[in-house]
Structures are given as structure tokens and as C-alpha cells.
Amino acid sequence: MKLFLKTDSNFLIRKILEEKLDVFNIKYNLINTNEILFLESIDTDTYTKITAVLSEYGFEIIENQKNIIVQKIKETITDMIFNEEGPSVKSSVYLAEKLNHSYGYLSNLFSEVTYTSIENFIIIQKIEYVKKLITHHDFTLTEIAFKLNYSSVAHLSSQFKNTTGITPSAFQRIIKKRNELNSQKIN
């Protein structure tokens, strides 16, 4: 017997953080899944213990200011793309406004730290979202292109193929076939 699960990674991250941090009886606020505000001071020993406990679950404490800003850029981009409504302005303007830095500064810093561009990261995140929409919803490519502000289905298809190596139509066929095979196994 197989179980097919749909997961909410934000819920899982919050749950793990809450369970692990509550053990220390320290007042805190989870600002988002990658930022914790401690409402009281923490001694070095407790900080070390928190770091060790969180590292067991793949969490890494970011202490370098450049890395913190890059992480905020990634979070903002992910929120921008996966948000149902999406931004009404260009991504460069959106990032600059959200993070209170010029886009030039953000772009240079991102490239320096990650060795890739913000534009490339945005494309990768958009393609991940396209795969999610194809896999879990019944949207047409036209609807997906519109939803993600692509100028055309051809533009979406071109980026999808450049990123994944296959066209979105081929990806749809693969997912459809896989779902058919899985439903046959269940019956």
C-alpha cells in the first residue's frame, strides 16, 4: 500500500522550530520560517545548544550580514512568485521596495554570494512553481503563463525547456502518465 502525501513545508518548518525552541523556555517570535526574534537575552551556552539542536534538522544559523540579505532576497522572491496575486510591478522594483536597498546593490550582492544572478534565481523559482501547478492543478499552459506574467506560452515553454531540458507539454504528459500508472496500482 502507498500513501500519497501533500506537504506544507512552511507548516513543517514552523512546527519543528516551535517544538525545539519551546524546550528552552525562552520567549521568541517566529517572524517567518527563516527568522526568529528572541524577546530576551540568551547566554552563550544556550545559544550553542539551540544551534546544535536546530542543526540536527538542517537549520544553519546565518551570522554574516551579506548572507542574511541574500537569504531575505531568496525569501522575498519565493513569496513574490508563490503569492496567488503576484506583484503588480517589475521584480527589480518589488525587491528594492521590500528590502529597502537599491536593486543594483541587491543584484551585485546576490551574484557575489551565490555565483548566479537574481534573474536566474527568479527563473528557477518560476519553473518550480510551474511544475507545481502542472503536478497538482488542472491549469492550461495559457493560464499558467498568464498567472506568472509571462508574455506568452512560447516564452514560458522556452524558459521551462532551458531549465529542465523538456517542454512543459512533455512534462504534463509525463505527470499524466505517472498518475495513470499510480491509480492503476492502487486499484
Residue 119's DSSP bridge partners are none
- The sign of the torsion formed by the CA atoms of 151, 156, 158, 159 equals positive
pLDDT at 27 over 80: yes
Distance CA 92, CA 86 (A): 13
Roughly how many angstroms between the first and final C-alpha of the chain, as a whole number?
11
pLDDT at 83 over 70: yes
pLDDT for the residue numbered 176: 85
For residue 71, with 0-12 CB atoms within 10 Å meaning exposed, 13-18 middle and 19 or more buried, which class applies?
Answer: middle
Q: Which of 130, 125, 122, 121 is nearest to 171 (CA)?
A: 130
Instruction: Kindly report, residue by residue over 53-79, the tens digit of the pLDDT.
Output: 999 988 888 878 888 899 999 989 988
pLDDT at 80 over 80: yes
State the CB neighbour count (10 A cutoff) for residue 172.
16
Instruction: Kindly report, residue by residue over 101-127, the tens digit of the pLDDT.
Output: 999 999 999 999 999 999 999 999 999
Domain boundaries, the chain: 11-61, 63-115, 122-186
Q: In the structure, what pLDDT confidence band is assigned to residue 187 with cuts at 50, 70 and 90?
A: low
pLDDT for the residue numbered 89: 72
3-state secondary structure string, 108-147? HHHHHHHCCCHHHHHHHHHHHHHHHHHHHCCCCHHHHHHH
Segment 127-146 mean pLDDT: 88
Q: Taking the model in full, what pTM does it have? A: 0.71
CATH entry, 122-186, from 3.30.300.30, 1.10.1060.10, 1.10.10.60, 3.90.1140.10: 1.10.10.60
For residue 56, with 0-12 CB atoms within 10 Å meaning exposed, 13-18 middle and 19 or more buried, which class applies?
Answer: exposed
